[in-house]
Structure 1
Amino acid sequence: MSERVMSGCADGLITLVAADALWVRSTAGSAVPTASGAFTHSPARARMGYVLLGSHVVATVRAGDGRWCVPDAEVRRAAAGLNAVVMDRQDLVRIGPFRGAPRREYGAETPLRWRPRIMGELQDRGDRERAARRETDRADHLAGIDWQQMLVEQTRDGTERTWWLPRAVVRLMDAAEHAEAQWLRAARTRQAGAPVTEPPSHPRQDPGTGSRRTASPEGPTASLRPYGKELEGQLYSVLSRKSGTSSKVAGWACAVCRTAPATVLDHCHEHGYVRAPVCQSCNTQERPDHLYSNDIRVANRYTRLFHTDADDWLRHWHRCPGCRTRATLPLPHLAAWTAHIACRSLRPTHRAPHGRKPCGTLRVSWTGSQNAPRSCLLTVAVELCPSGEHRVLARVPYREATERFRAWLAETAPAVAAAAVPDRLDGLPAHVRPVVADTSGEGLALF
């Protein structure tokens, strides 16, 4: 007997139970693990007229016998979109906890808001009484995705626990939030009696591919405008205090990946200027991996920043007039570049099963400040060497690191280098206003 006959619905519709089974079966080979109960377990919203499957919104309908059903073709289309996502489990984004973030309770009538949902469950795991109260609203899945299979817990300083998810999943969840917001906005407009074109439920451009192409007209950024230079030259300390800034940011597509909605306003912490609105994933990727205030671990993600997508990131960093006119980078980024690029040939290697492997973990620290270049010195070292070695590779003065970067910039991204004019310093404030401290205390923007 066919699945459609078993479902008891007509016109290509299947029941929610049948849709659960179809979703799991159709995504069995996906890099992103999916969960059963995508249509029937919290936080599924089938009785509200839709269900989130990845970054797709699948509309639900009520059959003549009162049962809720969904289009068979829409479930398969959502599954195909998820199957196309490429995921690197080593490329992680921290999702919490962050200091100062309010904890909220979420019920069946609340939209996705996946970060607080995950944090609420993780923080309640040690409290049996509270966990029992929340059991009926436990997030078994989010948008049909089994996030618990991909969650990585890390411990800092032996006490503080932090949680991480693969970057592709973070982008997928952010796109799901945006798609749901579009659908709800359109539904409210329809209820008010105004004509509206319902946003599509199957974007062509997948948010997890990492592509730099602009999303198609049917993608998750279809209703968003691309960022031009609307905020160029403005100080973050001034702009962040203006009313309506956060809603304006939410109207742009991410200025870096251009495939996700912007959620934060990235700015240069060294000069205080606004760079551009970016999505949370790109904002996390851009953030230096500080061990201490003057110490950086050079992680694998710097390969993307200085190799794979170097042109995009260099252009983004040079949206800051201070960095652009001086043809350099903020000190933490310059330090990471010096260790990763300028000192690459100095890093020792060890024998590995398939050739040779770079030694240990790369780390760069500095003394002094970029405001006193003669006193600033970068120290590049290798730690956690398999043979027990801990060695300093190089000590590079700040001015030398800057000159090396300028030469590399001209070769790697000539268009970006051409826009950088080190001698043109007119227009820059003599005394840059201090950057507003991030309210979360963990490097997140104010909105």
Structure 2
Amino acid sequence: MAERVTPGCTDGLMPLGAADALWVDLTADSAVPTASGAFTRSPSRAAMGYVLLGAQVVATVRAGGGQWSVAEAEVRRASAELNAVAMDRRDLVRVGPFRGVPRQQVDEETPLRWRRRIAGELQEPDGPERAAPRDVGRPYHLAGIDWRRILVEQTHAGPQRTWWLPRAVVRLLDAAEHTETQWVRAARTRRAGAAAAESPVRTRRAATAAAESPVRTGQAGAAAIESPARLRQAPDADDRRTTSPRSTAAVPRPYDGELEGRLYSVLSRQPGTSRQVAGWTCAVCRTAPAAVLDHCHEHGYVRAPLCRSCNTQERPDHLYSNDIRVANRYTRLFGTDAAAWLRHWHRCPGCRARTTLPLPHLAAWTAHTACRSLRPTHPAARGRKPCGVLRVSWTGSQNAPRSCLLTVTVDFCPSGEHRVLARVPYREAVERFRRWLAETAPAVAAAAGPDRLDDLPAQSRPVVEDTSGEGLSLF
């Protein structure tokens, strides 16, 4: 059967308004509800060169008259892929609110950031009840999906409400964010290559302009003759500024374990703590001034003062309260700079005495290091390349190690969208880490052990009390 011709199309391109209508028409029978403003309403921005439809990127181009348009075939392809998604409205994933969960680390140039957007909507007064069509210009769709129509509210004892989305939609939005990140990075690389190719042309033009402007050349020569006199005067002025006692600034000093064994809950309430932290250099990179006081969220002990860059590097990349995306930075944390980071994490007396890591860090280590050989690969330009994106989740708590289980998964793998690599019990993960620690950082391993500290609390604070219920308490 021939496809219906869309009015307003020229050479296969259609304006954004017509694309909005076509998207809704083609996905009318989809299990996942779609929105009418997929191309023209926030967070879509056609001027960036693309629009997200489900997990697909549809490129936008400027047609005649400077109007933004899209290829009709691309809209039809994206709608066909969305129509193929099966959704069980009873299989739900909690999307908020999570008190105290660290903000997910994302590429700031990627505008989707669907978890942050949903959290922002839910925090507003009457957020879920707000009628989206009345708020012109307000974002109410994500990648063309009308998430409000499938958002589920659950209420339990007390005034607290929780919000849930079908698992199929959560996976679809995860895939959309991943696809968008890859597209933005590829576009950035293309722009950098084009700029590098254009720079020799600009250099030749500048040289030609200088040769054709003798007056400007003479002025430049006069300035060059005058500059040595200025240079002879500069050192005296600099010396006077350097030796002036008023301009002497306090140089941050190296951290030498002055806060070891202190509880963050007590230290953070004391006046002058921020000023004291600013007086140290970062305990990891040892170059930048410290800005924050890093601490173990499981045991509550202070680790050391860190700069903001190292603190961000160390923070687990949570997707949900018990789910971590194992990003590329873990190559540094457990690879090139492993000894420095292990020493930093074991500044916590609780982790050091138990010869382990906090549960989120141990989960990331298990996925990145212990299950590395299980990760599938595919052919690349230079040998083979690891496939997909690693993710690790867990059930239970480290305080009940018999029931705690880590599940390592590869997302976006050609052989399966979410492929389970391994299920590792918590106790087994701890034993693997202890053996690896002894080989990787012998000095750190030698300082660890249950007999190293006698005044540890009888029971450490749980990270996740019960992931099957409502008592999710991450930090």
The TM-score, its normalising length taken from structure 2, stands at 0.47
SS at structure 2 position matched to 1:382: strand
Whole-Å Cα distance in 2 between the matches of residues 261 and 234 of structure 1?
Answer: 21
Partner of 1:410: 438
Partner of 1:257: 285
Does residue 271 of the first structure (1) align with residue 321 of the second (2)?
no
Q: Deviations over 1:310-332 (max 9, x none)?
A: 01000000000000010100000
Partner of 1:195: 245
Partner of 2:238: none
Partner of 1:157: 114
Q: Deviations over 1:209-263 (max 9, x none)?
A: xxxxxxxxxxxxx801100111000000010011111100010000000110100
Long gaps (5+) in structure 1: 1-98, 101-149, 167-189, 200-221, 436-444
Partner of 1:429: 457
Aligned residue runs from structure 1 range 60-209, under 5 A = 152-157=109-114, 160=117, 195-196=245-246, 198=248
Whole-Å Cα distance in 1 between the matches of residues 276 and 391 of structure 2?
Answer: 38
**Conserved? CA contact 1:311–1:412, under 8 Å:** yes
SS at structure 2 position matched to 1:374: coil
Letter in 2 for 1:372: A
Does residue 234 of the first structure (1) align with residue 284 of the second (2)?
no
Whole-Å Cα distance in 1 between the matches of residues 268 and 400 of structure 2?
Answer: 29
Aligned residue runs from structure 1 range 260-339, under 5 A = 260-339=288-367
Tell me which structure has the larger Cα radius of gyration.
2
Q: Structure 1 385/375 Cα, relative in aligned 2: closer, same or farther at 3 Å?
A: same
**Conserved? CA contact 2:349–2:453, under 8 Å:** no
Letter in 2 for 1:419: A
Which structure features the higher share of helix residues? Answer: 2
Does residue 370 of the first structure (1) align with residue 398 of the second (2)?
yes
- Report the alpha carbon displacement of residue 422 of structure 1 after superposing the two structures with TM: 2.8
Whole-Å Cα distance in 2 between the matches of residues 154 and 258 of structure 1?
Answer: 34
- Report the alpha carbon displacement of residue 158 of structure 1 after superposing the two structures with TM: 6.7
Answer with 380-389 or 404-413: which moved more.
380-389
CA RMSD of aligned residues (A): 3.1
Whole-Å Cα distance in 2 between the matches of residues 387 and 326 of structure 1?
Answer: 39
Whole-Å Cα distance in 2 between the matches of residues 431 and 369 of structure 1?
Answer: 12
**Conserved? CA contact 2:352–2:447, under 8 Å:** yes
Q: Structure 1 415/431 Cα, relative in aligned 2: closer, same or farther at 3 Å?
A: same
Letter in 1 for 2:112: T
SS at structure 1 position matched to 2:333: helix
**Conserved? CA contact 1:252–1:261, under 8 Å:** yes
Whole-Å Cα distance in 2 between the matches of residues 198 and 154 of structure 1?
Answer: 44
- Report the alpha carbon displacement of residue 434 of structure 1 after superposing the two structures with TM: 9.0
Q: Structure 1 310/397 Cα, relative in aligned 2: closer, same or farther at 3 Å?
A: same
Whole-Å Cα distance in 2 between the matches of residues 433 and 330 of structure 1?
Answer: 11
Whole-Å Cα distance in 1 between the matches of residues 437 and 296 of structure 2?
Answer: 19
**Conserved? CA contact 1:233–1:321, under 8 Å:** yes
- Report the alpha carbon displacement of residue 423 of structure 1 after superposing the two structures with TM: 4.0
Letter in 2 for 1:156: R
Answer with 348-357 or 382-391: which moved more.
382-391
Q: Structure 1 323/381 Cα, relative in aligned 2: closer, same or farther at 3 Å?
A: same
- Report the alpha carbon displacement of residue 154 of structure 1 after superposing the two structures with TM: 3.9
Whole-Å Cα distance in 1 between the matches of residues 307 and 397 of structure 2?
Answer: 30
- Report the alpha carbon displacement of residue 268 of structure 1 after superposing the two structures with TM: 0.3
Q: Structure 1 433/361 Cα, relative in aligned 2: closer, same or farther at 3 Å?
A: closer
Whole-Å Cα distance in 2 between the matches of residues 390 and 294 of structure 1?
Answer: 17
Aligned length: 241
Whole-Å Cα distance in 2 between the matches of residues 235 and 387 of structure 1?
Answer: 47
Q: Structure 1 197/311 Cα, relative in aligned 2: closer, same or farther at 3 Å?
A: same
Whole-Å Cα distance in 2 between the matches of residues 236 and 242 of structure 1?
Answer: 10
Whole-Å Cα distance in 1 between the matches of residues 390 and 271 of structure 2?
Answer: 43
Q: Structure 1 433/303 Cα, relative in aligned 2: closer, same or farther at 3 Å?
A: closer
Does residue 354 of the first structure (1) align with residue 354 of the second (2)?
no
Does residue 384 of the first structure (1) align with residue 412 of the second (2)?
yes
SS at structure 2 position matched to 1:234: coil
SS at structure 2 position matched to 1:328: coil
> Identity across aligned pairs (percent)?
78
- Report the alpha carbon displacement of residue 430 of structure 1 after superposing the two structures with TM: 2.3
SS at structure 2 position matched to 1:390: strand
Q: Structure 1 398/159 Cα, relative in aligned 2: closer, same or farther at 3 Å?
A: closer
Whole-Å Cα distance in 2 between the matches of residues 363 and 299 of structure 1?
Answer: 9
Whole-Å Cα distance in 2 between the matches of residues 283 and 153 of structure 1?
Answer: 22
Whole-Å Cα distance in 1 between the matches of residues 265 and 113 of structure 2?
Answer: 31
Whole-Å Cα distance in 2 between the matches of residues 159 and 262 of structure 1?
Answer: 28
Q: Structure 1 431/399 Cα, relative in aligned 2: closer, same or farther at 3 Å?
A: closer
Q: Deviations over 1:413-437 (max 9, x none)?
A: 00000000134451112255799xx
The TM-score, its normalising length taken from structure 1, stands at 0.50
Letter in 1 for 2:359: L
SS at structure 2 position matched to 1:312: helix
**Conserved? CA contact 1:348–1:358, under 8 Å:** yes
- Report the alpha carbon displacement of residue 353 of structure 1 after superposing the two structures with TM: 2.2
Long gaps (5+) in structure 2: 1-98, 101-106, 121-176, 186-240, 464-474
Aligned residue runs from structure 1 range 207-222, under 5 A = none
Whole-Å Cα distance in 1 between the matches of residues 415 and 462 of structure 2?
Answer: 45
SS at structure 1 position matched to 2:280: coil
SS at structure 1 position matched to 2:112: strand
Partner of 2:424: 396
Partner of 2:168: none
**Conserved? CA contact 1:321–1:428, under 8 Å:** yes
Whole-Å Cα distance in 2 between the matches of residues 263 and 158 of structure 1?
Answer: 27
Q: Structure 1 277/379 Cα, relative in aligned 2: closer, same or farther at 3 Å?
A: same
Whole-Å Cα distance in 2 between the matches of residues 151 and 396 of structure 1?
Answer: 33
